[in-house]
C-alpha cells in the first residue's frame, strides 16, 4: 500500500458481498481538505480520507495492452480493467496469446470492410491490433503451412455475439481465398436461411441461435474454397409452440407475414402475425427493433435462389409454414362422453384450411387430433383424447413437421455447397463451430440441459487442449515447468452423460417405461445423485426439479415435459395419415419413418441419446484439428451499447478459465516444432546447416539455430521438439522472411538476367527479321505506287475518250431533239390553224344561220303584217269603201311595222346586254390576283367594312336578275366606314400607353405580354360567349401555324376532299358558276340563317340573309351583281364553300350540345379547326373570316 498524489492510478477495493465484485481501477483527481477525490473506471466520483492507502496500478494496466499475457499485474481486476478501458474506446477485441476475447459492442463498428480484410491478410497475430480477421487469417495460413485441418471454436453465453462472429469469419475466409467464386457466395448465403429457420429473439439476444452448427469449409491445394458442409445440432422445437415472455418464435414466420404480398397471403389464407397463437403468446413480442422483417424476407428468398431452391420447393415450404400457423389456431372444446373426458374441434374451418395446405383428408386429420389408437394383444383400441391431450398431440405434430423441414433445408443447402472428396485430390478443411451458448433462464427445461451439456463438452475440450495436453507434453519432453492448477469440469460431464446411471441415461430409461412420468424421473435423479457434489437436490418433495453446478454457474431444471421432449415423437395415427398425403414434399420429409415399423420406431434412440452421439462425433472432429479459440463476452444483460457490467463480465471470465489461460500462456510455450520441421524451416538463419535428410543429428542443428538467432531469449529444447513462446516464433518468422527476401532478391536478379539475355537474343533476331521484312515491304510499296500510277494514267485516258465520245453523242442528240421539237411545233401549229379555221367557219356558219333565222323570222313577220294588211283591207272594203279601207289598212300596217321594229330593236338591245354581261362575268372569273381580291373585299378607309348592321345590295342588270331569281339581295353584317380612324395628336405624350400596361390591365390569367409559341388555355381578353372563346383560341392556333411557330396537323381528314382549295374556289367563283350553283348558295344561306349565330344573336355572322325576296326593284339592279360577288367571296373566306358546309354545320350543331370547356376536356379538339393539313391561303381566309368579320374577335 502506498500514499497517492494527483494523477496516480490506483486500485480501489469496493468489494461487497458478491463474489464477482473485484477491485476497480481509479485515477486520483484531487487531494485537498483532508479528502482524496478519485474517478473510477465507471466515471464515478469516490471520496476517501487523505490517510487512506491504495495499491498502485502497474504501468501496463495504466496504458493498456493488446495481449493480456503482457499484463504486469496478473489478477482478475487487471484483466477486467484492461477489457473495460478498451471497450470504452470501441476496441472490442483483445488477445490472450492466440486466444481472442471479443466483447459484444451491441452497435455497428466500421472495422469489417474490405480494406480491413486486405489489411489483416497474411499477418501474424500481434502485428496489428487484435481483430477477429487475424484469427481467421492465422487459421487459414496454418492450414496452408502445416497441411493440417484447423477449427475455430466460438464460445460464450447467449447474446455474446457468437453468430455475428461466425458470419464475420466466413466473410473473411471467402474474401481471403481470392477466388470470388459461386461456391463462396453460396456458403455466405446459407447463413440468412439458417438464421431465419433456426434463430429467434430471446430475452438476452435478438438473434439467438436455437440450434448448433458446425461449418466445415473445404480448400483445395491452392487454398481456394471448393465446398463446405453444415452439421446441425438440437433444434429447439419447443419454441414453435410456446415462448417465454418478451420472446418470439423463429424469425421466418414474422419475415414471411411481413414480406409477402396480399395476393400471396390470400392464396395461403394468411393475415397478420398478431392473429396466430403460436406468434402471439403471453402478450408476446410481434416486432423486433433490431430487425426489418420485410427486408429480411427478400434476403431469404434471394438466398434460396442462390442455393438452388426451386419455386415448387419454396411453395411447399410456405405451405408447411402456413399450415403450422393455422394448426396453432385450431381450438378444442372439452366435452364428456360416457363419463370420459373428450373434446371436439371448435373451429372446423381452420382445420379444413390445414387439411388443404397439407393435402390431407379432413376427417382423417380431425380423428388423428381427437383420438388415439392403442394396440393391445394384437387388437387396435381407439380411445378419445381429452382437451389437454388434444393440444399436446397438435403441438407434437407441429414440432415434428417443423423439425423434419429444418433437417431437409440443411440437407438441401449441403447438396448445393458440398462436393464429395476425390481420393486422388488434396483437400484440407477449416471448421467453424457456432453452437448455442450457456443458458440459465427462470425456467430451464430439457433443451437447456442439452445445451449446457454441449457447453460443458466445449469447456472440457478447451481445458484439455490448453491445460492438460500442454502440461502432459511438457512433462514428457522434460521441460522445466511449474504445474498450474486449473478448474476441471470432467466430473460434471460424468454426472450428465458419462458414468453409469448418469442423468441422460436415467431420462432414456424412464422414457421407455409406458407408465413413466416426469415426477418418477425426478425421484430417480434425486435417489441416484443427491450425494454428488455437482448435483443440487430439490428443496421440497412436491417440487419436480433439480440443479447442476455447471462450470458457468448453478442452473435449476424443471422436469416437466422432460420425457415427452426426450421421446421426440407424435401420434402414430397422424404418422399413418401422413403416408396418405398428396403432398410429395411432405411425404418425403417422413420417408425414413415410413420405412420402419411401429415397434422399431418405438425402440429408436431418444433425442438425448441422438444429441450425445452427434456431440461425441463433433468432439472427435475437433480433436483431430488444430483449434483456435474465440471467447465471446456479453457486457450487459440489456443489449445496450456502452454499458459494461463488471460483475457479469467477471463471472464469464472466471468460469471460462481466463485467469488460468493467461497464466499457462504466459509461462508456457504454445509454439512447438519437431526437430526435422524446425531445421527445414529455419536452417537459412544459420550457416553450415543442410536439409533435415542430410543432417545426421537434427537436435544439434536445431540447438545451433536457436543459439545463433534466439540469443538470451526464452525457449527450450525438448526430447523431440523445440518449444517457443509467441514472441520468439514471431521473431524467427520475421528473421526468416528477411533472409528469404535477400535470397529471393539474388535469385530474382539471376532470373531477370537470364530472362533479359533471352529477350535480347530474341529481340536481335526479331530486328533482323523485321529489317528484311521492311526492305521487302518498301520495294513492294514502290512497285505498288508505280502500278497505281499507270492505272490512274489509263483511267484518265479512258475518261477523256469517253468524255469526247459523250460530247459528240450529246450534240447529235440535241440536234435530233431540236429537229423533232420543230417538227412537232409545226405540226401543232398546223393543227391549231386548221382548228381555228374550222372554228371560225363554224362560228361564221352559226352567226350566219342565226342571222338567217332572224331574217326569216323578220321576213315572216313582215309577210304576216302584209297579209294582215290585205286581209284588213278586204274586210274594210265592204264597210268603208276601197279607198278608205286601203288607207285604214295601210295606217294599221305602219303601226304594226313600228311595233315590230321596236321589238326587233329591243331584242337586239337585250342580246347586246347579255353579251356585255357575259363578257363582264368572264373577266371577273378570270381575275385571280389574290392581293387585288383582298383589296376589293376589304378596301382602305373609304371602302366597305363588315359590321353587324345591314346594307342593301342590288344587281346591276335586269338580265342577271332573271337568272338569279329569288337570290338574296343584301349582305348581312356589312357596314361602311367612310371616316378614317382618328390618329393621336403629334404633341400628345404616348409613354404611358404601353402594351405591357395594357396586358397587365386587361389580359386574363396573369398572361405575360411576351410572345409564346405555346397554345393558350383561355383567350387573352375576357369573352363571355364560350363559342367565341373557342373561336379566339382557334384563331391563335391558326396564326401560330401560319407563322410556322406551331406544326400543322399531320393526319389528313378522315372525310377525304378530292379537290384542292383552289379548285374549290375556282368551282365557286370560276367559269363553271351557273344558276344551279346560285340555287345551292341560296339554300346554303337559308340553312345557315336557320343555324345559331357563331357569336351571338345580336352580332350575327350569317353568310347570307334575304333582305329583298323578289329582287325586281329597279333600284337594286345596279348592286345585284356586286352583292352576289360579295356573298360568294365571303363564303370562300369563311371556309363555308358548298364542299365543306355540311361538315361545318355538323360541328356547329355538336358545339351547341356541350360547352367549350367540356369540348376541350372530352376530345382535346377545337371544333373550329380543320383536322387535316391546310394551305397558307386557307389559314389566311380563316384568320380574316373570324378575326376581322366578328366584332368581338376583331
User: 197-249 pLDDT, tens per residue?
Assistant: 999 998 888 899 989 999 999 998 888 999 999 999 889 998 999 998 889 99
Q: Which residues contact 852 (CB under 8 A, 6 or more apart)?
A: none
Question: Angle at Cα 785 formed by Cα 781 and Cα 787, nearest 5°?
Answer: 115
Please identify which residue in the block is written with the cell numbers 518449444: 723
Establish whether 159 is an annotated binding residue: yes
Q: Which residues contact 358 (CB under 8 A, 6 or more apart)?
A: 319, 320, 323, 365, 581, 583, 586
User: Do residues 445 and 558 lie in contact, with contact meaning Cβ atoms separated by under 8 Å?
Assistant: yes
pLDDT attached to residue 281: 85
Please identify which residue in the block is written with the cell numbers 391558326: 1038
Q: Which residues contact 105 (CB under 8 A, 6 or more apart)?
A: 87, 90, 92, 635, 641
C-alpha cell at 513: 417405461
CA dist 1193 → 294, 938, 1023 (Å): 64, 17, 9
What is the C-alpha to C-alpha distance for residues 1038 and 1180, in angstroms, rounded to an integer?
9
- What φ, ψ does residue 161 adopt, rounded to 5°? 105, 25
Establish whether 166 is an annotated binding residue: no
Rounded CA Rg of the chain = 59
DSSP 1124-1163: HHHHHHHHHHTT--TTTHHHHHHHHHHHHHS-HHHHHHHH
User: Do residues 982 and 1144 lie in contact, with contact meaning Cβ atoms separated by under 8 Å?
Assistant: no
**Angle, nearest 10°, between helix axes 1176-1187 and 1061-1069?**
60
Q: How many CB atoms lie within 10 A of CB 528?
A: 17
- What φ, ψ does residue 723 adopt, rounded to 5°? -105, 125
For residue 145, the surrounding DSSP H or E stretch is helix 132-146
Establish whether 158 is an annotated binding residue: yes
What is the C-alpha to C-alpha distance for residues 610 and 612, in angstroms, rounded to an integer?
5
In the predicted model, residues of the chain with pLDDT beneath 50 are 927-931, 934, 938, 940-979, 981, 1053-1058, 1068-1074, 1088-1089, 1091-1122, 1124-1125, 1132-1157, 1159, 1161-1163
Establish whether 157 is an annotated binding residue: yes
What is the C-alpha to C-alpha distance for residues 256 and 918, in angstroms, rounded to an integer?
96
Question: Angle at Cα 909 formed by Cα 906 and Cα 910, nearest 5°?
Answer: 90
Q: Which residues contact 966 (CB under 8 A, 6 or more apart)?
A: 1082, 1106, 1109, 1110, 1111
C-alpha cell at 755: 530472362
CA dist 444 → 524, 972, 1122 (Å): 19, 108, 118
What is the C-alpha to C-alpha distance for residues 538 and 519, in angstroms, rounded to an integer?
12
User: Do residues 665 and 675 lie in contact, with contact meaning Cβ atoms separated by under 8 Å?
Assistant: no
Which of 236, 233, 235 has its CA nearest to residue 618? 233
Q: How many CB atoms lie within 10 A of CB 69?
A: 22
What is the C-alpha to C-alpha distance for residues 654 and 649, in angstroms, rounded to an integer?
9
What is the C-alpha to C-alpha distance for residues 1173 and 793, in angstroms, rounded to an integer?
57
Q: Is 508 helix (H, G, I), strand (E, B) or coil?
A: helix
Instruction: Compute the Cα dihedral for 842, 843, 847, 850 and give only its sign.
Output: positive
| β-pair type (951-952, 371-376) | unpaired
- What are the b/e assignments for 131-144, b being 16+ CB within 10 Å? bbbbbbbbbbbbbe
User: Do residues 735 and 724 lie in contact, with contact meaning Cβ atoms separated by under 8 Å?
Assistant: no
**Angle, nearest 10°, between helix axes 882-925 and 726-880?**
170
Which of 717, 709, 616, 639 has its CA nearest to residue 674? 717
CA dist 150 → 432, 614, 736, 805, 1010 (Å): 9, 20, 24, 97, 83
Please identify which residue in the block is written with the cell numbers 425421484: 523
- What φ, ψ does residue 1178 adopt, rounded to 5°? -65, -40
User: 972-993 pLDDT, tens per residue?
Assistant: 444 444 445 455 555 555 666 7
Q: What percent of the chain has pLDDT over 90?
A: 36
Q: Is 83 helix (H, G, I), strand (E, B) or coil?
A: helix
Establish whether 176 is an annotated binding residue: no
| Burial zone of 127 (CB within 10 Å; 0-12 exposed, 13-18 middle, 19+ buried) | exposed
- What φ, ψ does residue 623 adopt, rounded to 5°? -65, -25
Establish whether 161 is an annotated binding residue: yes
Establish whether 1096 is an annotated binding residue: no
Spacing of C-alpha 210 from chain mean position = 33
- For 101, left (φ over 0), alpha (ψ -120 to 50), or beta? beta
Which of 583, 598, 588, 584 has its CA nearest to residue 404? 588
User: Do residues 1119 and 956 lie in contact, with contact meaning Cβ atoms separated by under 8 Å?
Assistant: yes
What is the C-alpha to C-alpha distance for residues 228 and 169, in angstroms, rounded to an integer?
14
User: Do residues 128 and 134 lie in contact, with contact meaning Cβ atoms separated by under 8 Å?
Assistant: yes
Establish whether 163 is an annotated binding residue: yes
What is the C-alpha to C-alpha distance for residues 116 and 175, in angstroms, rounded to an integer?
11
Amino acid at each position: 500500500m502506498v500514499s497517492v498524489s494527483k494523477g496516480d492510478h490506483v486500485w480501489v477495493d469496493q468489494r461487497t458481498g458478491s463474489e464477482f465484485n473485484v477491485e476497480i481501477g481509479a485515477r486520483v483527481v484531487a487531494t485537498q481538505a483532508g479528502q482524496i477525490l478519485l474517478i473510477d473506471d465507471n466515471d464515478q466520483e469516490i471520496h476517501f480520507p487523505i490517510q487512506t492507502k491504495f495499491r498502485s496500478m502497474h504501468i501496463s494496466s495504466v496504458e493498456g495492452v493488446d495481449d493480456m499475457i503482457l499484463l504486469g499485474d496478473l489478477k482478475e481486476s487487471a484483466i477486467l480493467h484492461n477489457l473495460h478501458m478498451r471497450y470504452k474506446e470501441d476496441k472490442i477485441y483483445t488477445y490472450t496469446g492466440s486466444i481472442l476475447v471479443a466483447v459484444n459492442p451491441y452497435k455497428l463498428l466500421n472495422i469489417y470492410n474490405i480494406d480491413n480484410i486486405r489489411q489483416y491478410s497474411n499477418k501474424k497475430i500481434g502485428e496489428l491490433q487484435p481483430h477477429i480477421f487475424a484469427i481467421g487469417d492465422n487459421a487459414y495460413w496454418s492450414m496452408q503451412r502445416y497441411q493440417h485441418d484447423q477449427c475455430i471454436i466460438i464460445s460464450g453465453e447467449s447474446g455474446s455475439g457468437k453468430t455475428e462472429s461466425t458470419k464475420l469469419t466466413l466473410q473473411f475466409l471467402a474474401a481471403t481465398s481470392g477466388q470470388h467464386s459461386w461456391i463462396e457466395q453460396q456458403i455466405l448465403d446459407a447463413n440468412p436461411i439458417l438464421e431465419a429457420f433456426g434463430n429467434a429473439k430471446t430475452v438476452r439476444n435478438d438473434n439467438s441461435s436455437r440450434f448448433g452448427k458446425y461449418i466445415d469449409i473445404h480448400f483445395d491445394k491452392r487454398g481456394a474454397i471448393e465446398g463446405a458442409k453444415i452439421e446441425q445440432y438440437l433444434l429447439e422445437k419447443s419454441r414453435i409452440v410456446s415462448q417465454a415472455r418478451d420472446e418470439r418464435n423463429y424469425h421466418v414466420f414474422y419475415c414471411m407475414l411481413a414480406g409477402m404480398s396480399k395476393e400471396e397471403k390470400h392464396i395461403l389464407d394468411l393475415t397478420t402475425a398478431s392473429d396466430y397463437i403460436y406468434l402471439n403468446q403471453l402478450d408476446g413480442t410481434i416486432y423486433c427493433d433490431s430487425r426489418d422483417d420485410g427486408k429480411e424476407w427478400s434476403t431469404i428468398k434471394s438466398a434460396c435462389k442462390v442455393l438452388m431452391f426451386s419455386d415448387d420447393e419454396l411453395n411447399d415450404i410456405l405451405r408447411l409454414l402456413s399450415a403450422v400457423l393455422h394448426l396453432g389456431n385450431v381450438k378444442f372444446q372439452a366435452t364428456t362422453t360416457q363419463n370420459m373426458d373428450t373434446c371436439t374441434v371448435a373451429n372446423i374451418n381452420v382445420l379444413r384450411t390445414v387439411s388443404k395446405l397439407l393435402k390431407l383428408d379432413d376427417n382423417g386429420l380431425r380423428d388423428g387430433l381427437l383420438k388415439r389408437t392403442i394396440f393391445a394383444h394384437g387388437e387396435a383400441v381407439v380411445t378419445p383424447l381429452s382437451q389437454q391431450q388434444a393440444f399436446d398431440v397438435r403441438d407434437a405434430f407441429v414440432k415434428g413437421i417443423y423439425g423434419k423441414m429444418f433437417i431437409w433445408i440443411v440437407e438441401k443447402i449441403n447438396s448445393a455447397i458440398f462436393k464429395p472428396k476425390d481420393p486422388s485430390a488434396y483437400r484440407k478443411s477449416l471448421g467453424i463451430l457456432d453452437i448455442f451458448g450457456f443458458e440459465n433462464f427462470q425456467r430451464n427445461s430439457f433443451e437447456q440441459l442439452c445445451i449446457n451439456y454441449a457447453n460443458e463438452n466445449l469447456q472440457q475440450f478447451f481445458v484439455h487442449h490448453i491445460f492438460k495436453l500442454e502440461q502432459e507434453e511438457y512433462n514428457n519432453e522434460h521441460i522445466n515447468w511449474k504445474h498450474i492448477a486449473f478448474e476441471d469440469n470432467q466430473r460434471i460431464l460424468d454426472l450428465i452423460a458419462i458414468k453409469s446411471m448418469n442423468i441422460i441415461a436415467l431420462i432414456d430409461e424412464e422414457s421407455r417405461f409406458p407408465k413413466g412420468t416426469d415426477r418418477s424421473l425426478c425421484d430417480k435423479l434425486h435417489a441416484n445423485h443427491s450425494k454428488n457434489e455437482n448435483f443440487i437436490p430439490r428443496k421440497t418433495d412436491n417440487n419436480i426439479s433439480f440443479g447442476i453446478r455447471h462450470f458457468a454457474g448453478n442452473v435449476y431444471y424443471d422436469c416437466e415435459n422432460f420425457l415427452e421432449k426426450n421421446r421426440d415423437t407424435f401420434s402414430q395415427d397422424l404418422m399413418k395419415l401422413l403416408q396418405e398425403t398428396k403432398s410429395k414434399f411432405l411425404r418425403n420429409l417422413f420417408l425414413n419413418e415410413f420405412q420402419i415399423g411401429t415397434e422399431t420406431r418405438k425402440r429408436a434412440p431418444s433425442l438425448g441419446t441422438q444429441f450425445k452421439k452427434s456431440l461425441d462425433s463433433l468432439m472427435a472432429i475437433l480433436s483431430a484439428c488444430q483449434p483456435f479459440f474465440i471467447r465471446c463476452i456479453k457486457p450487459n444483460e440489456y443489449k445496450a451499447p456502452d454499458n459494461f457490467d463488471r460483475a457479469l463480465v467477471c463471472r464469464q471470465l472466471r468460469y471460462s478459465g481466463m485467469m488460468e489461460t493467461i497464466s499457462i500462456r504466459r509461462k508456457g510455450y504454445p509454439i512447438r516444432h519437431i526437430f526435422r520441421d524446425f531445421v527445414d524451416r529455419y536452417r537459412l538463419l544459420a550457416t553450415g546447416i543442410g536439409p533435415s535428410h542430410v543432417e545426421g543429428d537434427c537436435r544439434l542443428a536445431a540447438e545451433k539455430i536457436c543459439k545463433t538467432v534466439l540469443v538470451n531469449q526464452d525457449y527450450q529444447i525438448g526430447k523431440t521438439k523445440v518449444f517457443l513462446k509467441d514472441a520468439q516464433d514471431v521473431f524467427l518468422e520475421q528473421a526468416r522472411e528477411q533472409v528469404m527476401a535477400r535470397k529471393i532478391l539474388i535469385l530474382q536478379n539471376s532470373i531477370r538476367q537470364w530472362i533479359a539475355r533471352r529477350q535480347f537474343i530474341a529481340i536481335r533476331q526479331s530486328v533482323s527479321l523485321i529489317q528484311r521484312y521492311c526492305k521487302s515491304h518498301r520495294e513492294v510499296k514502290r512497285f505498288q505506287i508505280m502500278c497505281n500510277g499507270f492505272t490512274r494514267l489509263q483511267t484518265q485516258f479512258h475518261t477523256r475518250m469517253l468524255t469526247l465520245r459523250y460530247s459528240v453523242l450529246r450534240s447529235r442528240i440535241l440536234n435530233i431533239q431540236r429537229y423533232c421539237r420543230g417538227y412537232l411545233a409545226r405540226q401543232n401549229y398546223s393543227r391549231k390553224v386548221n382548228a381555228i379555221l374550222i372554228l371560225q367557219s363554224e362560228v361564221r356558219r352559226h352567226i350566219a344561220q342565226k342571222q338567217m333565222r332572224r331574217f326569216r323570222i323578220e321576213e315572216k313577220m313582215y309577210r304576216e303584217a302584209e297579209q294582215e294588211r290585205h286581209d284588213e283591207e278586204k274586210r274594210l272594203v265592204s264597210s268603208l269603201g276601197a279607198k278608205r279601207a286601203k288607207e285604214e289598212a295601210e295606217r294599221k300596217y305602219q303601226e304594226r311595222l313600228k311595233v315590230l321594229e321596236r321589238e326587233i330593236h329591243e331584242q337586239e338591245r337585250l342580246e347586246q346586254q347579255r353579251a356585255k354581261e357575259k363578257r363582264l362575268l368572264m373577266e371577273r372569273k378570270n381575275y385571280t390576283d389574290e392581293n387585288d381580291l383582298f383589296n376589293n373585299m376589304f378596301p382602305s378607309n373609304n371602302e366597305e367594312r363588315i359590321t353587324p348592321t345591314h346594307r342593301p345590295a342590288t344587281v346591276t342588270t335586269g338580265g342577271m336578275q332573271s337568272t338569279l331569281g329569288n337570290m338574296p339581295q343584301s349582305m348581312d353584317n356589312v357596314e361602311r366606314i367612310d371616316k378614317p380612324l382618328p390618329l393621336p395628336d403629334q404633341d400628345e405624350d404616348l409613354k404611358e400607353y404601353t402594351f405591357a400596361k395594357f396586358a397587365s390591365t386587361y389580359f386574363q390569367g396573369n398572361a405575360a405580354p411576351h410572345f409564346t409559341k405555346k397554345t393558350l388555355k383561355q383567350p387573352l381578353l375576357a369573352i363571355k360567349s364560350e363559342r367565341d372563346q373557342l373561336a379566339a383560341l382557334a384563331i391563335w392556333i391558326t396564326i401560330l401555324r401560319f407563322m410556322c411557330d406551331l406544326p400543322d396537323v399531320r393526319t389528313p381528314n378522315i372525310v377525304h376532299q378530292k379537290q384542292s382549295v383552289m379548285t374549290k374556289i375556282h368551282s365557286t367563283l370560276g367559269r363553271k358558276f351557273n344558276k344551279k350553283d346560285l340555287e345551292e348558295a341560296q339554300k346554303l344561306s337559308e340553312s345557315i340563317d336557320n343555324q345559331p349565330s357563331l357569336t351571338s344573336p345580336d352580332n350575327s355572322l350569317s353568310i347570307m340573309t334575304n333582305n329583298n325576296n323578289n329582287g325586281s326593284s329597279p333600284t337594286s339592279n345596279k348592286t345585284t351583281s356586286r352583292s352576289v360577288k360579295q356573298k360568294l367571296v365571303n363564303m370562300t373566306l369563311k371556309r363555308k364553300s358548298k364542299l365543306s358546309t355540311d361538315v361545318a354545320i355538323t360541328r356547329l350543331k355538336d358545339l351547341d350540345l356541350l360547352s367549350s370547356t367540356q369540348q376541350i376536356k372530352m376530345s382535346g379538339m377545337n371544333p373550329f379547326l380543320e383536322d387535316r393539313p391546310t394551305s397558307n391561303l386557307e389559314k389566311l381566309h380563316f384568320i380574316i373570316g373570324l378575326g376581322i368579320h366578328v366584332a368581338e374577335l376583331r
